[in-house]
Amino acid sequence: MFLSKNWMGIRSAGSATLRYMEIRSAKYIISSPSYLDCPKTDLPEYAFIGRSNVGKSSLINMLTDIDRLAKTSAAPGKTQLINHFAIETIDKKEVSKWWLVDLPGYGFAKVSISQRRKWESMIEDFLKKRETLAHVFLLIDSRHEPQKLDLDFVNRMGKWEIPFTLVFTKADKENQRTVQGNVKSFLQKMRETWQFLPAHFITSAEKKTGRVEILRLIGELNSEWQNTSKK
Ligand SMILES: Nc1nc2c(ncn2[C@@H]2O[C@H](COP(=O)(O)OP(=O)(O)OP(=O)(O)O)[C@@H](O)[C@H]2O)c(=O)[nH]1
Ligand SMILES: [Mg+2]
């Protein structure tokens, strides 16, 4: 039923083009209520989406190694706008500039239906219409068995043809067996409708698990972005 494109995947980590880049600077720039108000740019953007409280903002802090860059909270519904962070990385003396984008979560029950719809269309418009969106990281809480809300969102991403990587978060909070079991079940559920599965990472913002792997992927996607824009 769903896409079978190999751009959903990641190339082998052994590839020579994959290198690990260092963060040189990371700055909060602006919070926008609509994709139309976001910064004008031709640099690639990497957005983080997932249900409320899954750990999107924490992952941004973990990747940039700046504890309070994106605002986090133990209570769901903290991020309410589209937040842009300007990132500079350095890899073998070459500086790259790109964006991290922190989005509000979906599925937050404790707001009015109209507010929830507003957030949903803000997210959907951004994901579907933002021309500089290079890739999406779709976060899933690794402590839980597959949830309908997440599977529905994954399927919507397929329908919209938006490339993404799955990130199973909070891996430090459960034993590894449970985490592995939940990841496997989620991918198994996806197989019911997806011909090819997207790549996935398992992360912990606490322990910095998955940091190097995600930065490597972003580095590779940045190179692809540059090559495509030169054509
Ligand atoms: N132990 C642990 N806690 C985490 C991890 N990631 C996030 N948290 C905690 O989970 C809570 C929610 O994290 P946020 O990063 O604010 O989640 P969010 O997805 O941005 O949430 P909203 O903006 O409300 O949608 C916070 O209390 C974080 O400290 C993790 O990897 N391990
Ligand atoms: Mg947040």
Q: Mind listing the pLDDT tens digit for each residue in 148-198? A: 999 999 999 999 999 999 999 999 999 999 999 999 999 999 999 999 999
Q: Which residues line ligand 1 (CB under 6 A)?
A: 50, 52-58, 72-74, 76-79, 104-105, 169-170, 172-173, 204-206
For residue 78, the model assigns a pLDDT of: 84
Cα Dmax for the chain:
50
Nearest ligand (C-alpha, residue 104): 1
Beta-carbon contacts of residue 156 (< 8 Å; ≥ 6 apart): none
For residue 15, the model assigns a pLDDT of: 43
User: Which percentage of the chain shows pLDDT scores above 70?
Assistant: 91
Instruction: Answer yes or no: are the C-beta atoms of 190 and 152 closer than 8 Å.
Output: no
Distance 31 CA to ligand 1 centre (A): 19
User: What is 80-135 written as a DSSP string?
Assistant: -SEEEEEEEEEETTEEEEEEEEE-PPB--TTS-HHHHHHHHHHHHHHHHH-TTEEE
Helix/strand number for the chain, H first, E second:
5, 7
Nearest ligand (C-alpha, residue 55): 1
Distance 88 CA to ligand 1 centre (A): 24
Delineate the domains of the chain, giving CATH numbers in brackets. 20-33+45-105+133-230 (3.40.50.300)
Nearest ligand (C-alpha, residue 51): 1
Distance 74 CA to ligand 1 centre (A): 6
Instruction: Answer yes or no: are the C-beta atoms of 157 and 164 closer than 8 Å.
Output: yes
Distance 170 CA to ligand 1 centre (A): 8
* pLDDT per residue as tens digits for the range 12-25: 344 444 457 899 99
Q: Give all strands of the β-sheet with 45-50 in edge-to-edge order.
A: 22-32, 82-91, 94-102, 45-50, 133-141, 164-169, 200-202
Which numbered atom of ligand 1 lies nearest the CA of 171? 31
* pLDDT per residue as tens digits for the range 79-131: 889 999 999 999 888 899 999 999 999 988 777 888 888 889 999 999 999 99
- List the residue whose alpha carbon is closest to atom 8 of ligand 1: 55
Least Cα distance to 21 among 224, 214, 200 occurs for 214
Mean pLDDT taken over the chain = 90
Is the pTM of the predicted complex or chain greater than 0.85? yes
For residue 228, the model assigns a pLDDT of: 87
Distance 104 CA to ligand 2 centre (A): 6
